[in-house]
Copies of this chain bind each other. A is one copy, B any other.
Amino acid sequence: MKILKIIKIGGNIIDNEDALSSFLDTFAAIESPKILIHGGGKLATQLANQLGLEVKMIDGRRITDKATLDLITMVYAGKINKNIVAQLQSRNCNAIGFSGADGNTIVSKKRPVKTVDFGFVGDVEKVNTEILQVLLEHKLTPVFCALTHDKKGQLLNTNADTIASELAIGFADQYQTELYYCFEKNGVLSDVNDEDSVIKQITTQTYQRLIDDNIIADGMLPKLNNCIHAIEKNVHKVCIGKSEMLYDAAANFTTITK
């Protein structure tokens, strides 16, 4: 089976021009088929401040009202996505930008209102890989922003980590899929204050013990749940760490396998 690398980057790369440029050099040089997923970084908040848009939070979680969705669509699908695509093109990587609405690639459902109405936030229901598969075969590189749609005309703000894992799962029967979460730390740490305490290997078996022993910090849990879910759905491996892990096998990072 051919390898497909699905790589997610977050604010620590997107918000820093030099870090982004250096990451895109690395990404463009990857020879196997690949897909990039990017979050939004601080740009959306900056623009919201410029426009005097109020950031609405309930229980510490951001609410996506209509104005915020419009803003996110402009920043994620517009400015960030198109600039990444143009920069990859200059590196001879034939990138093509996507939201989940494009080609109906990711269909989600507006999160049901229980105690909190999160607004225009979508939980992924279905990934359609057919057209992406055709593009990959033609050596194109899809670049996804963190927006999906409900197939009824509504765009929805969707967690970029989840988009990455759902895409990896969607391709798991056609490719040996490898999922990479690039973030600001060296990996999953056993001591959150010690960058050198990277847990190099996690399996579905050892994962439960790490949770039972309270070794994994709260902030890592949603990310790791995404990873374990992907592994259980036949994604070949998930790696978490700094983007150096993409080219330096000796780098410190966490690998999750079955």
Contact of A82 among B50, B99, B103, B140 (CB under 8 A): B99
CB distance from A137 to the nearest CB of B (A): 9
A interface, how many residues as a size bin? 35 or more
Q: Is the CB of B74 within 8 A of A79?
A: yes
CB-CB < 8 A to A186: which residues of B? Answer: none
CB distance from A135 to the nearest CB of B (A): 7
CB nearest to A156 among chain B residues: B86
CB-CB < 8 A to A50: which residues of B? Answer: 51
Tell me, yes or no, whether A222 is within 8 Å of chain B by CB: no
Q: Is the CB of A78 within 8 A of B73?
A: yes
CB distance from A146 to the nearest CB of B (A): 12
CB-CB < 8 A to A95: which residues of B? Answer: 101-103
Interface centre among A75, A79, A135 (most CB of B within 10 A): A79
A36-65 near B? 1/0 per residue, CB < 8 Å: 000000000000001100000000000000
Interface residues of A (CB under 8 A from B): 50-51, 70, 73-79, 81-83, 85-87, 89-90, 94-97, 99, 101-104, 130-131, 134-135, 138, 140, 147, 149, 151-155
